Amino acid sequence: MSFYNVEMDGSVAIMRLERPPVNALAKQVYIDLMDTLKTLEDDDNVRVVIMTGSPKVKAMIGGADLNEFMELDYDSRLKRFETVDEAFDKLEKFTKPLLGVANGPTVGAGVAMLSLCDIRLASDTATFLIPEIDRGVMAAHLPMMKKLGVPSGIIKEWIFTCRRFNVYEAHYHKFIDYVYPPDDLLPNALRLAQKIAAKSKDALRFQKLYFIESEQLSWSDAYKKSHEYSAILTSGTNSKEGISAFLHKRIPNYKESDGAIKKATDVI
């Protein structure tokens, strides 16, 4: 049985991790994460995904399951990393908009997983902790958090001190995008997700693909890369519908499947 429970709200999938007592990340959790993301990626009814913790568990993600570490040596630790790396790669390259919603304490690898989401929302009671050094191991959060605009010195301080920091500090330093009271967190996340989900499926798909690819390019190469995708979208009917709706001040009526975008499949 998967540790991830999925509930649909229209075309938004709410993916909740449920592994009491604290949603610790055992190796099987990473495997289930990849399987769940693959299922959601392949489901044409899913436009946007919300990743959060089950309300039945007191943490969004309680970090790595340290019980597994007691049996690890050099080779088996590297082998475990292969699974973690694959899961993180899947998160970073997930082809649909992904909202990370911290509804409770988020620790260690959980902080890294939030970093790989497109948009991060959190409860005003959420806290964050990068405790790896206190466990005698490495924290690899610097590169992924730095991409979000979090200052290097702040990230290093969080890593070196292993101190718990609150959501307001996380928001101030650009790790968390939006903060809400606990009861308002999921409703606001859903409103944002539904607003995104209302866009043309093809446009969302190419925009997310562009976000992923542009991370590896210079700004100028990334800018030029967008031209190719924009040209493909312009050839379709949904682009014309979006422009027409704007010009005539009405809500666009996008087609679920735009036959003129078949070329897109060949490009991808």
Tens-place pLDDT, residues 174-233: 999 999 999 999 999 999 999 999 999 999 999 999 999 988 877 777 777 777 777 777
Instruction: Determine the angle formed by the axes of helices 219-234 and 237-247, rounding to 10 degrees.
Output: 90
- Asked if the peptide bond before residue 21 counts as cis, ω within 30 degrees of 0, the response is yes
Query: What separation in angstroms does the CA of 242 have from each of 94, 199, 264?
Result: 25, 9, 18
pTM score of the predicted model? 0.88
CATH 3.90.226.10 fits 4-197, yes or no: yes
The 10 Å Cβ neighbour count of residue 36 is 21
Closest CA to 195 of 93, 88, 119, 263: 119
How many whole angstroms separate alpha carbon 253 and alpha carbon 238? 8
With a cut of 70, say whether residue 266 has pLDDT above it: no
Tens-place pLDDT, residues 13-72: 999 999 999 999 999 999 999 999 999 999 999 999 999 999 999 999 999 998 988 888
Residue spans of the domains in the chain: they are: 4-197, 201-267
Query: What's the one-letter identity of residue 33?
Result: L
Beta partners for residue 129, in sequence order: 107
With a cut of 60, say whether residue 267 has pLDDT above it: no
Residue 44: per-residue pLDDT: 94
Tens-place pLDDT, residues 34-49: 999 999 999 999 999 9
Q: Provide CATH code, domain 201-267.
A: 1.10.12.10
User: Band of the pLDDT at 104, cuts 50, 70, 90?
Assistant: very high
How many residues in the chain? 268
With a cut of 90, say whether residue 240 has pLDDT above it: no
